[in-house]
Amino acid sequence: MRVGLLTEGGYPYADGDARAWCDRLVRGLAQHEFEVYALGRGPGQRAGSWDELPRQVSRVRTAPLWGEPERRRGGRGGRRQRRRFAEHFAELAAAISVPYGSGAPHGSGVPGRSTVQADRFASGLYGLADLAGEYGGLSTALRSEDAVRTLERACHAPGTPRGAQQARLADLLSVAEALERALRPLSLDWYGGAGDPGLSGVDLCHAATGGAAVLPGLLAKRRFGTPLLLTEYGVRLRERYLAGAADAGDGRSLSGPLQAPSGAAQALSGPVRTLLAAFHGRLAAEAYARADLITPGNTHTRRWQERCGADRERLRTVYPGMDAARFAEVGEAGAAQAGGDDRTLVWVGRIEPPKDVIALLHAFAEVRRWQPDARLRIIETRGGEDPGTDGYPAHCRALAEHLFPDEAADAHSAGDNPVSFERLGDPEVPTLADAYAAGGVVVLSSVAEGFPVGLVETMFCARATVSTDVGAVCEVIGGTGLVVPPRNPRALAEACLALLNDPERAARLGAAARARALELFTVEQNVAAFRGIYLELMSHCPVRRDEAGEGGGPRPFARPAEAHVPGRWTPGRDGDRFGHWLPGPAASRPASEHTPAWADPPPCEALGVGPRPSEEGA
């Protein structure tokens, strides 16, 4: 089948969210043809390179959610167009002027204000999409004075919460610019026309994340009846909330459609954060309501989705698949013995505030009181200091120097610090597997986590772990590691001491962790799950929806499935009247060839069967 893979800020770019997962999914499902529709978050991604794409990726189309919009036909338009825009945008503005989640009590069964606002949001969203399809891009209209005045009227309407009523002109301008970026997928030419079927020619839309990437899938489902599959390994709505609350005065904490105007590091006021959070909340609820299936990556994500309105009957938890092969050597050795230095604690990751390295250093000070020969190796996985960390890594190094001064055996020996800061790729730790194998116990000290990828990698390496109870940590680790409350250095220290003083227990936990990871979190498990989900969705949907039956309605399964197997039908050579079916990925054809000549062959050719020689007659 032909799959439209919808991404935002990730695949096929060389960096970004869910990049590795998407690449493994596409390579694992080589029997399908993929078309990638990617939304870029910033100029750095466009300047970077792409991954080497597999042959089953027949085309890639990209569009930016940053900078100035691409100029397309359409503008403010005539009077009728402006009137229609005002009506639809007014519905959208009225929906987001009420904070997401307000309304009747949850589970009361009474249609409350939230239900009404959800209907108004959907009406406005799809009305704007239809307008963009008829007249072209909406960028000029969304940034116009009419749009700002419409937002102002919605914010000052009776009954609007105080947070929206306090919006000033500068706030409304910021909201209008952010909405224009978030709604750019409505104006793209991805939906077919002029010989290019685009998303109208795919059998399935698979959104690899929430947020703006879902919009093309929602439009394809509404216009063409294309099934929509939504995968979230980290709830995009939750990320928006955390980004807005982490530092209300720092626009740099936001990215993509929520970024400060013109990409500047400007402060976002309370009204701006309120309106944008309401918009993304409504968008998430609409996506959960319309998607045919939703695949959260863990129970933590699943609870968020259920709370936002997702139907439990359409939720399937699919753990992200990870490559266990690169940790096999360390893991097989570690399953038999703890390996590394039993007195050493290891921390691996990016040094940033959510990782709470400060608490880890205070916990290690307590560990040193009871085990003076213990050591701590902090291994950074990213070179250089991220500007968004505001000097947090330097602060951690300064605290380590203050808590643990260099120690020397005598007056003639060089001092040595029990805490070392290293970088992945250094001679001592050239690979991730070497980093996890550098000690007897691996520590995760975060105060916020989605799906803890580093924890799974540690489990593949058969290392005992001490983790904080955040995100999906308990679900991932099961009973194969120690879990303590976050922001509790004393509890973290006691758990670390328990494993440092009992290497045999650490070895048993490490072996159990590796067995659990190999059972649940491998690429093979993930690909097998999505292979079944793809087939399940297509079993309830026509292979092609462009065949009309009686009454003008779609005729399911009008063409045989064999007509869509990637490959091509070639005529015989040298007088041979029997054609040859050449299987192979669709990428062997030109990317612009959307309707191959073999897509609608006679029935016998569709099955790869030619006439029998005896039937051709003399």
Backbone angles phi, psi at 51, to 5 degrees: -65, 160
pLDDT in tens, 430-454: 999 999 999 999 999 999 888 899 9
pLDDT of residue 270: 84
Q: What pLDDT score does 408 carry?
A: 61
Segment 257-274 shows an average pLDDT of 61
Rounded CA-CA distance 484/286 in Å is 37
| Range among 163-177, 457-471, 581-595 rated most confident | 457-471
Q: Find the mean pLDDT for residues 409-424.
A: 78
pLDDT at 185 over 70: yes
Does residue 477 carry a pLDDT above 80? yes
Q: Which of these ranges, 15-19, 451-455, 601-605, has the smallest mean pLDDT?
A: 601-605
Residues in a beta bridge with 376? 345, 419
Output the pLDDT for position 458.
Answer: 96
Say what the pLDDT of residue 248 is.
47
Set out the domains of the chain in order of their start, with CATH numbers: 1-66+199-248+283-321+522-558 (3.40.50.2000), 81-98+110-186 (no CATH), 325-521 (3.40.50.2000), 561-616 (no CATH)
Kindly tell me if the per-residue pLDDT of 128 is higher than 70: yes
Q: Tell me: pLDDT of 66 over 70.
A: yes
Q: Which amino acid is at 454?
A: G
What is the helix, strand, coil percentage profile of the chain, to 5? Answer: 50, 15, 40
Least confident stretch, 198-202, 267-271, 280-284, 503-507? 267-271
Among residues of the chain, what percentage have pLDDT more than 70? 73
Residue 594's pLDDT is what? 39
> What is the C-alpha separation between 320 and 317, in angstroms, rounded?
10
pLDDT at 385: 56
pLDDT tens per residue across span 346-367: 999 999 999 999 999 999 999 9
Q: Look at residue 437 and give its three-state secondary structure.
A: coil
Whether residue 193 has pLDDT greater than 50: yes
pLDDT of residue 14: 63
How confident is the model over 13-39, as a mean pLDDT?
85
Query: Which pLDDT score, from 0 to 100, does residue 150 have?
Result: 95
According to DSSP, the residues that pair with 581 across neighbouring strands are 569
Instruction: For residue 601, name the pLDDT band (cuts at 50, 70, 90).
Output: very low
More confident residue, 285 or 602: 285
Taking the C-alpha atoms of residue 303 and residue 197, their distance in angstroms, rounded to an integer, is 37
- The mean predicted confidence, pLDDT, of the chain is 80
pLDDT at 234: 74
Mean pLDDT calculated for residue range 538-553: 61
Burial of 325 (0-12, 13-18, 19+ CB in 10 A): exposed
Give mean pLDDT, residues 274-279: 90
Considering the chain, what percentage of its residues have pLDDT values greater than 90? 53
pLDDT confidence bin for 71, thresholds 50/70/90:
low
Which stretches of 472-601 are DSSP H helices?
A: 473-477, 489-500, 503-520, 523-539
pLDDT at 613 over 50: no
Measure the CA–CA gap between 18 and 366, rounded to whole angstroms.
37
Q: In the numeric block, which tokens belong to residue 602? A: 């006679």
pLDDT at 12: 85
Question: What's the pLDDT score for residue 182?
Answer: 93
Residue 577 has pLDDT above 50, yes or no: no
Residue 595: predicted pLDDT: 38
pLDDT of 135 over the 90 cut: no
Q: CA–CA separation, 594 vs 238, rounded Å?
A: 38
Q: Which whole number is the average pLDDT over 338-353?
A: 84
- Residue 417: band (very low, low, confident or very high) from pLDDT cuts 50, 70, 90: confident
Q: What is the pLDDT of residue 35?
A: 96
Q: Does 264 score more than 80 pLDDT?
A: no
The mean pLDDT value for 322-343 works out to 77
pLDDT at 40: 85
Q: Is the pLDDT of residue 218 over 50?
A: yes
Interval 415-433 mean pLDDT: 90
User: Is residue 543 helix, strand or coil?
Assistant: coil
Which range has the worst mean pLDDT, 208-212, 479-483, 513-517, 581-585? Answer: 581-585
What confidence score (pLDDT) does residue 245 get?
A: 59
Cα Rg for the chain, rounded, in angstroms?
28
